[in-house]
Amino acid sequence: MVAPVNFYGYNAAGGDVVMLRSLKNLEIQNKRVLVRVDFNVPLKDGKVTNDTRLRESLPTIQYLIEHGAKVILVSHLGRPDGKIVDALRMNPVAERFALLLGKPVRTADECVGSGINTLVSSMKSGEVFLLENVRFYPGEEKNDDNFSRELAQLADIYINDAFGTVHRAHASTYGVAKLLPSAAGFLLEREVTMLNKATLNPARPLLVIIGGAKIADKIGVMKDFLGKVDQFLVGGGSAFTFLRAKGWMVGDSIIDEKLVEGVKQFVKDAYVKGADVILPQDFKIAQELKPGVERSFAPADKIPSGWMGLDLGPETIRDFRRRIKAAKTVIWSGPLGAFEIPPFDEGTRAIAQTIVESPNLFAIIGGGDTAAAIEQAGIKDFKNIYVSTGGGATLEFLGGRTLLPIEILKA
């Protein structure tokens, strides 16, 4: 029997499909449309160094322009903690986005207030306006009702196209959506569609690769995966807290001592739920992280004092590769070494290449540093890989958490 296919075009036999209201069903001609985008891009010397997130937002913005909307963009940049930080103003982002869009993008040094209201009221159909960094305002991360209302006053319609922020119920991702007719942008729709492929009756074995520097950012979501996953492969800085939980000495490698007991309990819970937690067997090590530094290799339980693990060792790479080749679905979040400084990128590159060479599996790559590592490895446009724009949002969605900014847009 052929499994049913919904209008998004993927197998819907394994569970409930997340259906979102589409902006195509809204009348937007001459309307002021507030679009939450994720323009949190890296800057260096006042210039955007990676415009992937800007390019991902283009289809939604271009559609709105073509249909005569007055487009008001709102995004955060960095973590200013509710204070004005000149280095995190949106002007460089607007300049780069205007080049990609092929038309001017107006800016201002505020997000709300009478001055912005006046500027917005003078907009013409097809024009694009980028507000100042929304996290300059304490009310944003607090999801403050008054701040939400001030943002909502700017527009007739709200569109969320910032998947990378949907795990945070902030004013610009959730509060405004409660006050205006709202829908998902094309990027958000696509993300939900593709991620559902890994949650609705995924092909087994299902393997989750966890990397990155800090296990504190991942352990909560790893717990969400228990009962759904066959194996966890843990690398990067995240691995050393697990190794310390085994009682091993790991030199000067990064450890979160506060989580050692929690990690021990996680491993026990994973065993009960039938999931294997696979840790590195060896590491590429150095005494400091910088180009050209002396490096060596060490077993995972014998990293010398004064040295730290900065990449997977050859035995671990072989083991991880073997396990990935046997998998049918892979979810990967976090680089497996200090990929930004060769040669500590070799483990991440090897794992990425293994996924590419395994056409019988479907892989979801979490955003942020993992996506950057994949791009740096020159891997793109492979049919069996989906690179999400979200980092934490990707994991929380796949782990089954309720994400309020998505809940409020359900059809």
Active-site pick, 31, 32, 36, 53:
53
From 211, 251, 337, 392, the catalytic residue: 392
pLDDT, tens digit, for every residue of 252-283? 999 999 999 999 999 999 999 999 999 999 99
Q: In this structure, which amino acid lies at residue 188?
A: L
User: CA 235 to CA 323: how far, in whole Å?
Assistant: 14
Is 407 contained in some domain? no
Look up 70 and say whether it is catalytic.
no
**Do 263 and 218 touch, CB atoms closer than 8 A?**
no
- Does residue 375 fall inside a structural domain? yes
Model confidence at 3: pLDDT above 80:
no
Range of the domain at 305: 202-398
User: Is the pLDDT assigned to residue 7 strictly greater than 70?
Assistant: no
Q: Is the model's pLDDT at 141 over the cut of 70?
A: yes
With cut-offs at 50, 70 and 90, classify the pLDDT of residue 384: confident
Co-location of 317 and 352 in the same domain:
yes
- Does residue 250 lie within any of the structural domains? yes
pLDDT bucket at 356, cuts 50 / 70 / 90: confident
Residue 218 in domain: yes
Q: Please give the radius of gyration of the chain, using alpha carbons only, rounded to the nearest integer.
A: 22
Query: Are 184 and 284 found together in one domain?
Result: no
For residues 211 and 154, state if they share a domain: no
Claim to verify: residue 37 and residue 107 sit in the same structural domain:
yes
Q: Domain ends where: 136, 156, 190?
A: 190
Instruction: Write out pLDDT tens, residues 85-96.
Output: 999 999 999 999
Query: Pick from 132, 166, 190: which residue ends a domain?
Result: 190
Q: What is the pLDDT of residue 17?
A: 63
pLDDT band at 249 (very low <50, low <70, confident <90, very high): confident
Determine the pLDDT at residue 181.
Answer: 97
* Residue of 103, 142, 178, 214 marked active site: 214
pLDDT reading at 247 higher than 70: yes
Give catalytic status of residue 212 as yes or no.
no
Prediction pTM value: 0.84
Assigned domain for 28 exists: yes
| Final residue of a structural domain among 168, 190, 212 | 190
Residue 298 has pLDDT above 90, yes or no: yes
Euclidean distance between CA atoms 259 and 249, whole angstroms = 16
For residue 14, pLDDT beyond 70: no
pLDDT at 4: 27
153 within a domain of the structure (yes/no): yes
**The CATH number of the domain where 305 resides is what?**
3.40.50.1260
Q: Given pLDDT bands bounded at 50, 70 and 90, which one contains residue 379?
A: low
Calculate the average pLDDT of the chain: 91
Residues 150 and 245 in one domain: no
Q: Tell me if 408 is assigned to some domain.
A: no
In a domain, 2, yes or no: no
Domain count, the chain: 2
Residue type, 147: F
pLDDT band at 180 (very low <50, low <70, confident <90, very high): very high
Q: Spot the catalytic one: 212, 251, 334, 368.
A: 368
Cβ contacts of 49-58, under 8 Å, gap ≥ 24: 50/372, 50/375, 51/96, 51/97, 51/100, 52/371, 52/375, 52/389, 53/164, 53/389, 54/93, 54/96, 54/97, 54/100, 55/100, 56/187, 56/389, 57/161, 57/185, 57/187, 58/100, 58/101
Write down the pLDDT at residue 377. Answer: 67
Q: Is 368 a catalytic residue?
A: yes
Residue 115 among the catalytic residues: no
